[in-house]
C-alpha cells in the first residue's frame, strides 16, 4: 500500500475543500477585488437574502430573551438589559428596511457589517452590566449563556459566501471585544474559563471562515459552469446578456461610452461542410484563443451562437473600438484547415454615438452593421 507525502495530502485536502481553482480564481477566495461582474451579482443576491433572514430571526429572538432575564436578574439589571435589547431590536428592524432598497454591492456589504456589528455592540454592553451583578444560582447560569453570544455570531459567518478578507473584517471586532472584556473583567466562571472560551472561540472562527470560503468556492464553480461556453471558454450567450444589461446600466448611470462589436467568422459553414464539425470546433477554439490574447483588459468576449461573437467594450468610444478591432484583425484569427487565413466581418455600435436606448438596440445595430460588412465583401469593419 502506497502512502502519499503529508504535504501533498494537505494540498489535496485544501483543493477538495475550496475547489480546484485556477490562479486568478484563487485570488477571488482571498479578496473581493477583481471579482467578475456575474460573480458579484450572484453574491449580492445571495448575501442580501441571507442578511434579511438572519436579521428577521434576531428581530424576533432578541426581545424574547428578556423573559429569561426576568426570572434570573434583579429588576435594575433586567431593565438595563431590556434597554439594550430594545435598541438592538430596533437596529435589526432598521437593517431590514435598509435591505429592502436596491440590490447593489454597497448595500449588501454594509448590510453584512450592520448584521454583525449590532450583536457585537450589544455583547459589549451586556457584559459590562453583568460584571456589577452578584451572580449565583439561576442568575449565574443565565449570565454564562450571555457569554455564548460571540459563538453564535461567529458561527453565523458560515451562513455567507465570503472571501478570507471579508470574513476577517466581520470576525475581528467580536474577537477583539472578547479580548478587551477579558482584559478588564473576568467572566462569571473566572480566569480559566476566559482562556478556554477565548481559545474555543478562535477555533470556531477558523472553522466558520473555512465554511464561508468553501461556500464561495462553490458559488465560483457554479458561476464558472453557467457563464462559460463549454467549447471555447468565453462567456455563453445567457451570461453575455446579463453582462450586457449590467454594463449598459453602469454606462447609463455614469454617462460613459459602451461599445458593442458583433463579429461573424467568414465562410465558416464551408469548414464544417468540407472538413467536418471536429475541424470546425478546432477553428473556433483557435479563433477565440487569438481574440482573447489580443483583447484589451476589461473587455469581454461572448459566444453569441455558432460562429458569431460579441465584444463588450466598456468605457470605449466608437473610434477607439474600431482601432482595437482593426489591430485584432491585422493580427488574424488563426487559420482555416486548408491553411488560408481566417477572417471575420464585424459591426460596431456605441451607446452615446448611436443613441442606444438599451443593450438590445446596440446588439441589433451592431448585428445589422456586421451584415453590411458581409454584403460589402467580408473581412472588414463597419461602424456606421
DSSP for 70-89 reads HHHS-HHHHHHHHHHHHHHH
CA-to-CA separations, 60 to 34, 64, 96, 208, in angstroms, rounded: 37, 7, 12, 24
CA-to-CA separations, 209 to 114, 262, 293, in angstroms, rounded: 18, 43, 36
| Nearest Cα to Cα of residue 295 among 268, 269, 259, 267 | 259
Our CA dihedral for 297, 320, 384, 373, rounded to 10 degrees, sits at: -60
The Cα 294–Cα 179 span in angstroms is 53
Reading the block at residue 25, the C-alpha cell is 480564481
**Burial class, 74, CB count within 10 angstroms (exposed 0-12 / middle 13-18 / buried 19+):** exposed
Mention every residue, 6+ apart, whose C-beta is less than 8 A from residue 7: none
pLDDT, tens digit, 9 for 90 and up, residues 102-155:
889 999 999 999 999 999 999 888 888 887 667 666 777 777 777 788 888 999
Dihedral sign, Cα of residue 149, residue 155, residue 160, residue 163:
positive
Reading the block at residue 74, the C-alpha cell is 434583579
The Cα 47–Cα 352 span in angstroms is 34
Strand partners, 344: 265
Reading the block at residue 260, the C-alpha cell is 458593442
pLDDT, tens digit, 9 for 90 and up, residues 68-110:
888 888 888 889 999 999 999 999 999 999 999 888 999 999 9
- Output the CATH code of domain 237-382: 3.30.70.270
**Burial class, 184, CB count within 10 angstroms (exposed 0-12 / middle 13-18 / buried 19+):** exposed
Convert 335-363 into a string of H (helix), E (strand) and C (coil).
ECCCCCECCEEEEEEECCCCCCCCHHHHH
Dihedral sign, Cα of residue 177, residue 182, residue 185, residue 187:
positive
CA-to-CA separations, 325 to 116, 204, 378, in angstroms, rounded: 48, 53, 15
Reading the block at residue 336, the C-alpha cell is 482555416
Convert 13-76 into a string of H (helix), E (strand) and C (coil).
HHHHHHCCCCHHHHHHHHCCCCCCHHHHHHHHHHHHHHHHHHHHHHHHHHHHCHHHHHHHCCHH
Residue count of the chain, please give it: 384
Mark residue 310 as left, alpha or beta (left: phi above 0; alpha: psi -120 to 50; beta: remaining).
beta
CA-to-CA separations, 198 to 130, 166, 207, 296, in angstroms, rounded: 18, 21, 14, 50
Residues of the chain below pLDDT 70: 1-25, 132-133, 135-137, 181-195
- Domains of the chain by residue range: 12-225, 237-382
**Burial class, 246, CB count within 10 angstroms (exposed 0-12 / middle 13-18 / buried 19+):** middle
Beta strands in the chain (DSSP E): 258-265, 300-305, 308-314, 344-350, 381-382
Check residue 143 and give its pLDDT. 74
Check residue 10 and give its pLDDT. 43
As annotated, the active-site residues are 307
Mention every residue, 6+ apart, whose C-beta is less than 8 A from residue 342: 265, 266, 283, 286, 287, 332, 333, 334, 335, 336
Amino acid at each position: 500500500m502506497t502512502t502519499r507525502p503529508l504535504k501533498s495530502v494537505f494540498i489535496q485536502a485544501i483543493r477538495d475543500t475550496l475547489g480546484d481553482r485556477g490562479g486568478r480564481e484563487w485570488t477571488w477566495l482571498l479578496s473581493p477585488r477583481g471579482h467578475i461582474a456575474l460573480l458579484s451579482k450572484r453574491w449580492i443576491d445571495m448575501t442580501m437574502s441571507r442578511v434579511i433572514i438572519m436579521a428577521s430571526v434576531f428581530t424576533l429572538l432578541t426581545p424574547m430573551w428578556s423573559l429569561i432575564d426576568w426570572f434570573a436578574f434583579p429588576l435594575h439589571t433586567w431593565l438595563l438589559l431590556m434597554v439594550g435589547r430594545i435598541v438592538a431590536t430596533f437596529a435589526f428592524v432598521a437593517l431590514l428596511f435598509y435591505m429592502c432598497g436596491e440590490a447593489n454591492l454597497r448595500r449588501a456589504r454594509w448590510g453584512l457589517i450592520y448584521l454583525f456589528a449590532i450583536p457585537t455592540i450589544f455583547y459589549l454592553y451586556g457584559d459590562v452590566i453583568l460584571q456589577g451583578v452578584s451572580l449565583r444560582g439561576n442568575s449565574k447560569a443565565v449570565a454564562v449563556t450571555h457569554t455564548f453570544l460571540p459563538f453564535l455570531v461567529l458561527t453565523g459567518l458560515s451562513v455567507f459566501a465570503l472571501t478570507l478578507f471579508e470574513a476577517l473584517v466581520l470576525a475581528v471586532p467580536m474577537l477583539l471585544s472578547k479580548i478587551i472584556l477579558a482584559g478588564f473583567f473576568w467572566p462569571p466562571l473566572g480566569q480559566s474559563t476566559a482562556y478556554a472560551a477565548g481559545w474555543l472561540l478562535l477555533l470556531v472562527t477558523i472553522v466558520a471562515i473555512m465554511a464561508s470560503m468553501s461556500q464561495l468556492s462553490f458559488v465560483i464553480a457554479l458561476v464558472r459552469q453557467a457563464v462559460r461556453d463549454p467549447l471555447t471558454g468565453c462567456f455563453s450567450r445567457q451570461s453575455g446578456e446579463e453582462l450586457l444589461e449590467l454594463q449598459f446600466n453602469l454606462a447609463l448611470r455614469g454617462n460613459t461610452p459602451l461599445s458593442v462589436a458583433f463579429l461573424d467568422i467568414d465562410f465558416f459553414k464551408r469548414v464544417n461542410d468540407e472538413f467536418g464539425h471536429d475541424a470546425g470546433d478546432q477553428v473556433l477554439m483557435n479563433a477565440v484563443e487569438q481574440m482573447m490574447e489580443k483583447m484589451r483588459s476589461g473587455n469581454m468576449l461572448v459566444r453569441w451562437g455558432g460562429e458569431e461573437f460579441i465584444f463588450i467594450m466598456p468605457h470605449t468610444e466608437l473610434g477607439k473600438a474600431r482601432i482595437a478591432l482593426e489591430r485584432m484583425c491585422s493580427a488574424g484569427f488563426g487559420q482555416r484547415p486548408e491553411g488560408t487565413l481566417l477572417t471575420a466581418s464585424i459591426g460596431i455600435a456605441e451607446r452615446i454615438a448611436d443613441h442606444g436606448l438599451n443593450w438590445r438596440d446596440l446588439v441589433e445595430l451592431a448585428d445589422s452593421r456586421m451584415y453590411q460588412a458581409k454584403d460589402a465583401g467580408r473581412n472588414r469593419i463597419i461602424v456606421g
